[in-house]
Chains A and B, each alone.
Chain A
Amino acid sequence: MSSALRSSLERFGPPVLIMLLILGTWEAAVKMLGIARWLLPAPSAIAMRFVRTEDLWYHTGLTLLEAGTGFAISAVLGIALAAGIANSRFLERGLFPYVIVSNAIPIISIVPLLNIWLGFGIATKIVIAAIITFFPIVTNTTRGLKAADARILDLMHSINATRRQVFFKVQLPSALPFIFAGFKIAASLSLVGAVVGEFYGADRGLGFLVITAATQLRTDLLFVAIFVLAAIGVLTFSFFGWLERRSTRGALEVDRE
């Protein structure tokens, strides 16, 4: 057995085994105890529903679009704001309280307001995803930008580096691991934001699927939607975790000319 195969078996073997054990017990329990389908569908029934739900990818795509767009807007604005906060005492004192307020407001409470302003379409969900991801991105990026080595900053100032040079050659690359740690949190939150937005009056998206499946007691479909959401969450989390580790090792290059 090759060593690569062995090491991946050692890594993925245990969780896969546990998963199979849980699914097996679940399936057997449902079959043997005769649990009603609306109460707890068997894994096999959920798998069948997964295959048969033809518009699943449409709903998934839409939710991903909302979450992704909100996340992207938040990332651009958040990093820009953090750059301002990290480099200006005035902006730090003036803006940081409001960044904290943005986190303190329960997001659910402003969804109806956004519905009044932006309607029940995709825009509301994008804004919700943007608001909910803003805080972790701004705070992590700010912390990262401030973590730049003070001696290197002295060195840069002693040779008359411009603000732009200091930012792109020193501050931003030092902040990358922090930024990706923030992205990791924000990615799952953006999904929460989009789904919560879809709970309040939407006719499509995974959040809509969850609500309709629940009200119609189509519990198998509910499970399908939950599993898809979980899978997206795990994938984005691992992706940004991987970027974070790479940037910590210094393997990412952002300050090339």
Chain B
Amino acid sequence: MTPAAAQLESPCISLRGVGVTFEARGATVRAISGVSLDVADGEFIALLGPTGCGKSTLLRVVSDLQRPSEGTVAVRGGSAAQARRRNEFGFVFQEAALLPWRSALQNVRLPLEVVDFPAQGRDERCVELLRSVGLEKFRDAYPAELSGGMKQRVSIVRALSWNPSILLMDEPFSALDELTKNQLQDDLLGIWGREKKTVLFVTHNIAEAVYLADRVVVMSAHPGEIKTVIHITLPRQRAPDVRDTLEFVEHVRAARAALRA
């Protein structure tokens, strides 16, 4: 068992020996293999690894969108399927993945039209969420009229709209410029601090993983396996200039070394 499977009393997410193989044109591709990991309630986990290491597949396995070929997945003591039926998972994707024919507000409202949410409270909830990320003036703007950072903000509050307990974020900031990325990282930490979500954050950016996470899970590719797990011992109240500290640099160096190993 990897050190990732730390001894947690009642983990929010618990993976045991999870592997996924795909059949593609006669060939068998092992996307992930032997992944064991316990994630505590309210913990911020970064999944760090090169492209093609099965990080996205792991998110789909946790949320019951992909059945594991081997191993078990437990979410809050039950199965992933049960957690999905309780609408526990909020997804955020790279490049926002908004519906172009819906305004910002209507995009945020999409999940509320699907999950059990009182119809008359929907728009109010969406306006409140857009205000929390400074976009109340853009409620009627279409995605084509929004900048990349704005779109990603809309996408984040869309994932928060019905208040799911677990956020699954698939390289959400990788397409953004450096300044916007840093701003959104701080926004995300603010939201995480306020709302106590459990976060699985997929990234291939080492500094981003270290800045955001409680623990960085370093993965290798082909097949995707957990190489090591790095506990980030930086104080939890993180400000942008923590990046200049020696401790931060040490963590980044450790993560880079683990990636290369």
- Chain A neighbourhood of B99, CB < 8 A: 149, 152, 170, 173-174
Taking CB atoms and an 8 Å cut-off, the chain A residues in 165-206 that contact chain B are 165, 169-170, 173-174, 176
Does B97 contact A159, Cβ atoms closer than 8 Å? no
Give min CB distance, A254 to chain B, whole Å: 8
Q: In the complex, which range does the number of interface residues on chain A fall in?
A: 20 to 34
Give min CB distance, B56 to chain A, whole Å: 10
Does B110 contact A158, Cβ atoms closer than 8 Å? no
Does B97 contact A160, Cβ atoms closer than 8 Å? no
Give min CB distance, A252 to chain B, whole Å: 7
Nearest 10 Cβ contacts at the A-B interface:
A250-B101, A151-B97, A151-B93, A161-B114, A250-B100, A155-B91, A158-B89, A158-B63, A159-B114, A159-B87
Taking CB atoms and an 8 Å cut-off, the chain A residues in 44-81 that contact chain B are none
The residue in A154, A156, A165, A257 that gathers the most chain B C-beta atoms within 10 A of its C-beta is A154
Does B162 contact A159, Cβ atoms closer than 8 Å? yes
Closest Cβ neighbor of B110 among chain A residues: A169
Give the docked Cα–Cα distance between A198 and B89 (Å): 59
A237-257 Cβ-contact flags toward B at 8 Å (1 or 0): 000000000010111110101
- Chain A neighbourhood of B65, CB < 8 A: 154, 157-158
Give min CB distance, A255 to chain B, whole Å: 8
Closest Cβ neighbor of A250 among chain B residues: B101
Q: Given that A154-B65, A160-B85 are known contacts, is A257 also in contact with B101, CB under 8 Å in the complex?
A: no
- Chain B neighbourhood of A247, CB < 8 A: 101
Give the docked Cα–Cα distance between A160 and B82 (Å): 11
Does B97 contact A149, Cβ atoms closer than 8 Å? yes
A250's partner among B64, B89, B93, B144 (CB-CB below 8 A) is B144
A95-122 Cβ-contact flags toward B at 8 Å (1 or 0): 0000000000000000000000000000
Give min CB distance, A157 to chain B, whole Å: 6
- Chain A neighbourhood of B113, CB < 8 A: 165, 169, 257
Give the docked Cα–Cα distance between A15 and B5 (Å): 73
Taking CB atoms and an 8 Å cut-off, the chain B residues in 145-179 that contact chain A are 162, 168, 170
Give min CB distance, B110 to chain A, whole Å: 7
B44-76 Cβ-contact flags toward A at 8 Å (1 or 0): 000000000000000010011100000000000
Closest Cβ neighbor of A252 among chain B residues: B101
Give min CB distance, B136 to chain A, whole Å: 21
Give the docked Cα–Cα distance between A158 and B113 (Å): 14
Tell me whether B111 is interfacial, beta carbon within 8 Å. yes
Give min CB distance, A197 to chain B, whole Å: 38
Q: A149-B99, A169-B114 are known; give 10 further A-B pairs, CB within 8 A.
A: A152-B97, A152-B99, A154-B60, A155-B93, A155-B111, A158-B64, A158-B84, A160-B85, A160-B115, A253-B101
Give min CB distance, B163 to chain A, whole Å: 12
B89-110 Cβ-contact flags toward A at 8 Å (1 or 0): 1010100010111100000001
- Chain A neighbourhood of B91, CB < 8 A: 151, 154-155, 158
Give the docked Cα–Cα distance between A249 and B102 (Å): 10
Closest Cβ neighbor of B87 among chain A residues: A159
Tell me whether B192 is interfacial, beta carbon within 8 Å. no
10 A-B residue pairings within 8 Å (CB atoms): A151-B91, A152-B99, A155-B111, A157-B65, A159-B87, A159-B89, A159-B162, A165-B113, A176-B101, A252-B101
